[in-house]
Amino acid sequence: MDRVYDLAIIGGGVNGCGIARDAAGRGNSVFLCEMNDLASGTSSWSTKLVHGGLRYLEYYEFRLVREALIEREILWGIAPHIIRPLRFVLPHHAGLRPAWLLRLGLFLYDHIGGRHLLPPTRSVDLASDAVGKPLKPGRYKKAFEYSDCFVDDARLVALNARDAADRGADIRTRSRAVEIRQIDGIWHVTVEDTLNGGRSTITARALVNAGGPWVEQVLSSGAGVNAKAKVRLVQGSHIVVRQLYAHDRAYMFQNADGRIVFVIPYQDDFTLIGTTDRDYDGDPAKVKATSEEIEYLCNSVSEYLAKPVKPSDVVWNYAGVRPLYDDGASEAKAATRDYVFELDMPGGAPLLSIYGGKITTYRRLAEEALERLSPYLNSAKAKEGWTATAPLPGGDMDVSAVVALTAELIRDHPFLAHAHANRLAHAYGTRAAKLLGHAKSMSDLGQCFGDTLTEAEVRYLMTEEWAVTAEDVVWRRSKLGLRLTPAEIAALDDWMAAHRAPERRPLREAGARP
């Protein structure tokens, strides 16, 4: 416990890992602990969008939308392997928002955020355009098509953590902060290893509470903390069905209750539908999509689609809890998605707690967090922000280069099927070559666990990206859980348990499944 870190961070979601990366890149010594897996809370259960939030214009959140739209192209530029442009079709029909209002909103959307690379909004004649074919015939005549981006949310978190570690940060998963206290102006954070039960204490000059839905629990583990802001837990649920249509556009559907639902091409053979907005009261770790939410999403999209979507069509569903700042909004859908900081100095050392935020603005949030903490960190390390131009691991290529990278992987490894190479290019970018190494055949990649998941990839994820269980691999580092059978996932879990580093095994039985 001799070392005193410049900054300790509690929470391994997108905000915590983004702050860790930025701080480490400025030369600060950084410690981050996450009680479960990276992105296992809110950050892996999103709608997978890097977007300005068109509907937030209705709530006059102009600063939030502008900031998000600026970040949209910045993030695409630094992570073109896991972020890609996506065109959204917004059908218009009488009885909801008038066409002129939608066009005005889209005009603002195109111009207030400094759009440079993404194509602008256009009007669509649904009777003649292919995007009209999946819709109920004759009901919708006009639509608007606009740009946003799709993101692999959990990989975004893992890559921020990887880059932070590459720059010297100490990233510890399955490590719960059980107590925070100040002694002589220094934070002492007691951390429990949730796999083996051991405890240790680290010290730091400044502390960030990026606990997400658990932000208030983190505060309650410390004595003398005076933070007063409150978190509002809002549940968002999603469903995944088999591919609903052949084209590559997404849809944004307006509901009579004022909510919107996205329909998004997903993982090549599937369609993602979401999300819901409802207040949540309970343990955030136990949130589940309810039958009512699943039915609501099916009914919402069936109002528009020629072929109805039924609950029996759902192949997977997921739910997450958004830790929004409680601004007193009467409805969950109207609660602000902006982020709020609360800085407390209970014993002279700073504690910065984070409320709210969204994936799109995580990088700017990290910059602002360090700006707030700069008076308390080593002034020699408080250099300007740098993350807007530095690519995330694997992202050191042009935004249009993923297709070329896929071809390059096939050229260097002719045994790879196109779908396999394409998946690796989108997941790992230029680091896919490191994963494949000098393999000359599929057998050189070791055991195959199903679909295109090989031992070489799993070992890479365990050594480079903190994967510990099969769930980490098939539902966060990838979405191969949609393609693997339960038996294949169980076999992967057994293999990973047997091949974990000793310190990553539960003490009760080394090698046993947790």
pLDDT at 143: 95
Number of domains in the chain: 3
Cβ atoms of 24 and 168 within 8 Å: the answer is: yes
Is residue 141 located within the same domain as residue 164? no
> How deeply is 380 buried, as exposed, middle or buried, from its count of CB atoms within 10 A (0-12, 13-18, 19+)?
exposed
Instruction: Assess whether 185 and 309 both reside in one domain.
Output: no
Shared-domain flag, residues 131 and 10? no
Burial of 401 (0-12, 13-18, 19+ CB in 10 A): middle
Note whether residue 472 is domain-resident. Answer: yes
Query: Which CATH number belongs to the domain containing residue 356 in this structure?
Result: 3.50.50.60
What's the mean pLDDT in 153-161?
A: 98
Name the residue with tokens 């002034």: 379
Residue 87 identity: R
Please write the tens of the pLDDT for every residue from 318-346: 999 999 988 777 677 667 778 999 999 88
Looking at the predicted structure, is the pLDDT value of residue 511 above 60?
A: no
**At 58, is the pLDDT very low, low, confident or very high (cuts 50, 70, 90)?**
confident
pLDDT of residue 223: 67
Contacts of residue 506, Cβ cutoff 8 Å, sequence gap at least 6: 195, 196, 512, 514
Q: Would you say residue 71 lies in a domain?
A: no
* CB neighbourhood size of 125 (10 A): 11
Domain annotation covers residue 52: no
Alpha helix (H) residue ranges in 396-485: 402-412, 418-428, 432-436, 455-464, 470-471
User: Quick one: 122 and 206 in the same domain?
Assistant: no
Residues 376, 240 within the same domain: no
pLDDT tier for residue 382 given thresholds of 50, 70 and 90? low
pTM to 2 decimal places: 0.95
Report d(CA 84, CA 398) in Å as an integer: 12
Q: What is the pLDDT of residue 206?
A: 97
* Tokens 């209705």 -> residue: 58
- Confidence at 100, pLDDT banded by 50, 70, 90: confident
- Nearest Cα residue to 21 out of 211, 215, 157, 202: 157
* Contact criterion met (CB below 8 Å) for 41 and 213: yes
Is the Cβ–Cβ distance between 131 and 249 less than 8 Å? yes
pLDDT at 509: 37
Domain that holds residue 161: 4-42+154-230+337-381
Looking at the structure, tell me whether residues 128 and 165 fall in a common domain: no
Q: Are 191 and 181 in contact (CB under 8 A)?
A: no
Backbone angles phi, psi at 408, to 5 degrees: -65, -40
Residue 168 has pLDDT above 70, yes or no: yes
Domain contains 289: yes
Alpha-carbon dihedral 291, 292, 298, 303, rounded to 10 degrees: 160
Residue 391 covered by a domain: no
How many Cα neighbours within 13 Å face the side chain of 425?
A: 23
Same domain, 141 and 158: no
Residue predicted with more confidence, 221 or 383:
221
Asked if 135 and 170 sit in the same domain, the reply is no
Could you tell me if 440 and 480 lie in one domain? Answer: yes
**Averaged pLDDT, 52-63:** 81
* 55 in any annotated domain: no
Q: Are residues 421 and 375 in the same domain?
A: no
* Phi, psi (deg, nearest 5) at residue 395: -95, 15
Does residue 48 contact residue 264 with C-beta atoms inside 8 Å? Answer: yes
pLDDT single digits (tens) 270-328: 999 999 999 999 999 999 999 999 999 999 999 999 999 999 999 999 999 999 988 77
Give yes or no: residues 171 and 304 share one domain: no
Confidence check: pLDDT of 395 > 70: yes
Same structural domain, 407 and 475: yes
The pairing of beta strand 278-279 with beta strand 270-274? unpaired
Residue 317 lies inside a defined structural domain of this protein = yes
